[in-house]
Amino acid sequence: MKSDNCIFCKIANGVIPSTTVYEDDDFRAILDLGPAAKGHTLILPKEHFDDVTELSEELARKVLPIAAKLGKAMKTGLGCAGFNLVQNNGAEAGQTVMHFHLHVIPRYEGGPEIASWIPGETTPEEMKETAEKIRAALK
């Protein structure tokens, strides 16, 4: 556990009670207190990582199968038609709790609507230049 002032460390490790839908040695998945839709779930590692860039590769490999399992259970158990996986990194990206978490958000026919991005415009030149910048930074 990172420190006393990380609420998700406390929740993941059972120091603060939560509505838990899944738990194993590494993760706890809880219902979100401000759900975007009924069943909105957060998967929290028990160990503290600020965001996905800090998450260990071992846990990164484990988290996606859990999300898939939860999404499948939401379809069967809650009758949703689909689900979104959402994961915010950094305040500018909408991260409000600085402990890595993966949202699993059920989507039902008829809503509620969940805000998405508005598709923008680009050009082949801009795409080439942008891709070059990302590739260079990967090295």
**Residue positions counted in the chain:** 139
And the tokens for 49? 């990582």
With binding defined as CB under 6 A, does residue 88 bind ligand AMP?
yes
Pick the closer one to ligand AMP by CB: 59 or 85: 85
Q: Of 32-40, 46-54, 63-71, 127-135, which part binds ligand AMP (CB under 6 A)? A: 32-40
Q: Is residue 91 a contact residue for ligand AMP (CB under 6 A)?
A: no
> Is residue 101 annotated as a catalytic residue, yes or no?
yes
What residues pair up with 44 in beta bridges, in sequence order?
Answer: 28
Which candidate in 40, 48, 99, 101 is catalytic? 101
Nearest to 8 by CA among 35, 39, 24, 32: 32
Answer yes or no whether residue 9 interacts with Zn ion by CB under 5 A.
Answer: yes
Cα(59)–Cα(26) distance, rounded to whole angstroms? 8
